[in-house]
Copies of this chain bind each other. A is one copy, B any other.
């Protein structure tokens, strides 16, 4: 069943049927209803390839999926993708994904762009001075980055959360509670969010004339095991930190295991604030000691990005080019006054 057949069936021209379907105003409401009815009965679905050829729009957004697992945790990626997907499906868009080695992100991105299969690109896992930006800007294809690239001029469309502010606020809270010895469980050092969170912490400390040494900052993959190892290391230090900032609840999972095994009490001996991406299976309030967190939903970010990209492709009212989401600092039981040093 194609447009031609459908229009013959209805005794209308293809033009009218097409317009009725695509919501153009120059068609009588009664006619439109008749068309819609026929579509329901016949199960007609417009041919995507033809639509695409005629409009020049593929109805899809492309993304490169890093496949090496040491790059960020897959859990986070999956969650983000869900958000993208929820929104995309609503607009009858789809994704084209190109799995790629993290070392060939630029190449993979270019291949995806010139493949002609996508209308727009989505970029994640931003690094400091990210080489993909220059390439993207030379391409004449809309794109949107999740995050930013520290050190590059922020003249590209992005959606990011205020990582620096989040960890600044978190550190501030811990400082107010009297903590002075900090440690940071961070993601991979080259990633933008890690850089900014670190800076947020450093700035908050600097305001009090405090510093943090390199060995009190760990940069690892965002899974629980590295979190545990790093925390074990912190706990063995002669002047062990009492305030921990943690880039993910997944990392916190491991860290807390280490705290427990050391026989220490979270919220008393050790205060910890983790960034919460709102992963459905890892709610901070369900930890044995509920976690104080900086919160921002990864899934919501995905949905928003899809929304903006799709609007761009459809040339609808433009959204703001750049968005910076504030995080919420939610105090639960994993933070408490600094223990007395005797």
Residue positions of A touching B, CB distance < 8 A: 45, 47-50, 52-53, 56, 58-60, 65, 67-70, 74-75, 77-79, 81-82, 84-86, 89, 92, 94-100, 111-112, 114-117, 224-225, 253, 279-281
For this complex, 28 residue pairs linking A to B, each with C-beta atoms less than 8 Å apart, are A48-B58, A48-B115, A48-B117, A49-B52, A49-B56, A49-B116, A50-B53, A52-B53, A53-B53, A65-B78, A67-B78, A67-B79, A67-B82, A67-B85, A68-B281, A69-B75, A69-B78, A69-B280, A70-B281, A74-B75, A74-B77, A82-B99, A94-B112, A94-B117, A95-B97, A95-B98, A97-B97, A224-B224
* Total identical chains: 2
Q: Are B116 and A47 in contact (CB under 8 A)?
A: yes
Q: How far is the CA of A149 from the CA of B164 in the complex (A)?
A: 49
User: What distance in Å separates the Cβ of A109 from its nearest Cβ neighbour in chain B?
Assistant: 13
Interface centre among A48, A94, A114 (most CB of B within 10 A): A94
Q: How far is the CA of A86 from the CA of B101 in the complex (A)?
A: 10
B residues near A98, Cβ cutoff 8 Å: 85, 89, 94-95
B residues near A58, Cβ cutoff 8 Å: 48-49
B residues near A79, Cβ cutoff 8 Å: 67, 69
Q: Are A94 and B115 in contact (CB under 8 A)?
A: yes
Q: Are A45 and B114 in contact (CB under 8 A)?
A: yes
Q: How far is the CA of A52 from the CA of B67 in the complex (A)?
A: 29
Q: Given B49, B81, B94, B116, which contacts A67 in the complex, CB threshold below 8 Å? A: B81
Q: Are B114 and A68 in contact (CB under 8 A)?
A: no
Interface centre among A48, A69, A77, A279 (most CB of B within 10 A): A69
B residues near A253, Cβ cutoff 8 Å: 225
Q: How far is the CA of A270 from the CA of B98 in the complex (A)?
A: 42
Q: Are B111 and A89 in contact (CB under 8 A)?
A: yes
Residue of B nearest to A59 (CB): B117
Q: Are B99 and A96 in contact (CB under 8 A)?
A: no
Q: Are B60 and A53 in contact (CB under 8 A)?
A: no
Residue of B nearest to A85 (CB): B99
B residues near A82, Cβ cutoff 8 Å: 67, 99
Residue of B nearest to A75 (CB): B69
Q: Are B85 and A281 in contact (CB under 8 A)?
A: no
Q: How far is the CA of A114 from the CA of B45 in the complex (A)?
A: 8
Q: How far is the CA of A68 from the CA of B85 in the complex (A)?
A: 13
B residues near A70, Cβ cutoff 8 Å: 281
Residue of B nearest to A74 (CB): B74
Q: Are A53 and B47 in contact (CB under 8 A)?
A: yes
